[in-house]
Copies of this chain bind each other. A is one copy, B any other.
């Protein structure tokens, strides 16, 4: 076996508490290299007296280079001492903290340790998240329910979006269209920022305690949240705590008074007075954006201010969690305090970080419940929309992602195919709705919570910002109602079957050079096969299966013969088959 490929290190994604009783242990080997991996485990304080147990590990994920093995154990006294036995052919290796051994180490002391399963450290995302389907609303562009609060110079609904124009969307507009969301079947909304700010996107907060006057009032938001809750819809707000806007009163004070301002330490000023030299502000900002001064979240006053904001909207207005803008540029210490405040205010609040990259340092239970799962976005788009990744490459990328985080992080991941920060799915798909449906079918049959970006469900298109921030189309004659029906069907399907939400995921077919893929999702005795064809020609998949199956969306029956089921898929087609 290739020793250089074998990797294990306690905690993080390799050995973690999945719940208050269960520890997951993982190890990585070169793909196809080890035939059997056994976890040897026991209590460090009676290893010799009681003896240790063995648990067979199974490959739960694979990527281009590696097999990832997992075992679940429930240590009687919450202490776990463990090592690995790896076998291939006639070769047997033992791995402990000191490395590889060709004989079983006699001394358990040098085995690995998960020292104690303390409940306080267990990473427990809210249980409702894996059962949710999210809908993202960019409020200025969703619906104008109250023309009386329109900003000056508002343009007629449906015009071309620019970085600076306004169309009058507001909270009343959302309230007016909750039926649309309910018909679509979503049960959670993620709102782009709602607080007072100067821009149409509101990422330049002026007042964190006040709904933007063009959107409505705090009372209106409470009315909206209550109306949502009455329909079983949860509400997530956008917390822009990395930076404020340039009209945020403390920043205005620093602009005016410089070093003598009592808010001078609320920001990261490299040099007074605040100015911009050759395109670079003399103070830290988001990117190099002068209008977005970075907040000093290490300053206790700033912390107290922002944490009170976090508490206020949950306790007073009733929101169900926060999406954190530019989350990875804010210090971990602040986020830990934030989590304490948020979870005290509402124990099952959802904390969702905007991180586009590998996010392990935020996903250990002390900071976020999940991140916006852009790596999955990329993988799905590459396979189903752009055609730059074949079935095997897509499967490898999925495997990488499954192995990258604790399982509960995967189950609570926020899976999106587009947002206010990307081109829209339909546009990326070259307006080919088959590809939109294919990508969405994958999204809705993955672990993690899917999110529909407003309008995608009725065929809205648009390139990168500002194109992706068009006004929602409310004229039914201009909506793609068939597409809406498709999305509503997907939502219904996912919400009806736990197997599609947090069931196990196992690949059934993923071959290099082919644009097809199939995987099984399974829970509580229910089993689904998801079969995909991202190719531009029809494809026939012959998949290992037994018994009776039916297309879960179309009802058509399938019967396995001689241990195989045959699924014919049109170009960019897919099928979700349910056993029985």
Could you list which residues of chain A lie within 8 angstroms of chain B, going by C-beta atoms? 2-5, 7, 9-12, 30, 45-46, 64-66, 77-79, 97, 99, 109, 112-113, 115-116, 118-121, 284, 287-288, 297-298, 328-334, 336, 355-358, 360-361, 366, 375
Tell me the nearest residue of chain B to A298, going by C-beta.
B120
Which chain B positions have C-beta within 8 A of A330? Answer: 116, 118
Does B46 lie within 8 Å of A358, measured CB to CB? no
Which chain B positions have C-beta within 8 A of A358? Answer: 9-10, 97, 112
Distance of A566 from chain B, by nearest CB (Å): 34
Which chain B positions have C-beta within 8 A of A97? Answer: 357-358, 375
Tell me the nearest residue of chain B to A115, going by C-beta.
B328
Which chain B positions have C-beta within 8 A of A331? Answer: 116, 118-121
Partner of A329, one of B5, B7, B115, B120: B115
- Distance in angstroms between the alpha carbons of A171 and B118 in the assembled complex: 36
- Distance in angstroms between the alpha carbons of A375 and B64 in the assembled complex: 34
Does B288 lie within 8 Å of A45, measured CB to CB? yes
Q: A9-B358, A284-B77, A287-B45 are in contact. Are A116 and B328 (CB under 8 A)?
A: yes
Does A333 lie within 8 Å of B120, measured CB to CB? yes
- Distance in angstroms between the alpha carbons of A78 and B5 in the assembled complex: 33
How many chain copies?
2
- Distance in angstroms between the alpha carbons of A514 and B478 in the assembled complex: 82
Tell me the nearest residue of chain B to A28, going by C-beta.
B4
- Distance in angstroms between the alpha carbons of A112 and B99 in the assembled complex: 28
Partner of A298, one of B115, B119, B329, B357: B119
Which chain B positions have C-beta within 8 A of A121? Answer: 331-333
Which chain B positions have C-beta within 8 A of A46? Answer: 288
- Distance in angstroms between the alpha carbons of A60 and B185 in the assembled complex: 56
Does B3 lie within 8 Å of A65, measured CB to CB? yes
Besides A46-B288, A118-B330, A120-B334, 9 new A-B residue pairs in contact (Cβ under 8 A), listed by A number: A2-B4, A4-B4, A9-B358, A45-B288, A64-B99, A97-B375, A109-B356, A113-B328, A118-B331
Which chain B positions have C-beta within 8 A of A329? Answer: 79, 115-116, 118
- By Cβ-Cβ distance, the 5 closest A-B pairs, closest first, are A118-B331, A4-B5, A115-B328, A116-B329, A45-B287
Distance of A101 from chain B, by nearest CB (Å): 12
- Distance in angstroms between the alpha carbons of A332 and B365 in the assembled complex: 11
- Distance in angstroms between the alpha carbons of A327 and B541 in the assembled complex: 55
- Distance in angstroms between the alpha carbons of A331 and B329 in the assembled complex: 26
Q: A120-B334, A121-B331, A357-B112 are in contact. Are A30 and B45 (CB under 8 A)?
A: no
Q: A10-B358, A46-B288 are in contact. Are A366 and B2 (CB under 8 A)?
A: no
Distance of A412 from chain B, by nearest CB (Å): 20
Which chain B positions have C-beta within 8 A of A3? Answer: 65
- Distance in angstroms between the alpha carbons of A7 and B4 in the assembled complex: 10
Does A361 lie within 8 Å of B11, measured CB to CB? yes
Which chain B positions have C-beta within 8 A of A45? Answer: 287-288
- Distance in angstroms between the alpha carbons of A287 and B328 in the assembled complex: 39
Does B366 lie within 8 Å of A10, measured CB to CB? no
Tell me the nearest residue of chain B to A355, going by C-beta.
B115
Does B288 lie within 8 Å of A4, measured CB to CB? no
Does B336 lie within 8 Å of A336, measured CB to CB? yes
Q: A118-B331, A366-B332 are in contact. Are A360 and B11 (CB under 8 A)?
A: yes
Tell me the nearest residue of chain B to A303, going by C-beta.
B120
Tell me the nearest residue of chain B to A5, going by C-beta.
B4
Distance of A378 from chain B, by nearest CB (Å): 8
Distance of A277 from chain B, by nearest CB (Å): 13
- Distance in angstroms between the alpha carbons of A113 and B360 in the assembled complex: 12
Distance of A357 from chain B, by nearest CB (Å): 5
- Distance in angstroms between the alpha carbons of A5 and B45 in the assembled complex: 35
Distance of A114 from chain B, by nearest CB (Å): 9
Which chain B positions have C-beta within 8 A of A355? Answer: 115
Which chain B positions have C-beta within 8 A of A4? Answer: 2, 4-5, 30, 65-66
Which chain B positions have C-beta within 8 A of A115? Answer: 328-329, 355, 357
- Distance in angstroms between the alpha carbons of A115 and B325 in the assembled complex: 13
Which chain B positions have C-beta within 8 A of A30? Answer: 4
Question: What are 8 inter-chain pairs, A to B, with CB distance below 8 A?
Answer: A7-B7, A9-B358, A79-B329, A115-B357, A118-B332, A118-B333, A121-B331, A121-B332
Which chain B positions have C-beta within 8 A of A112? Answer: 357-358
Distance of A31 from chain B, by nearest CB (Å): 9
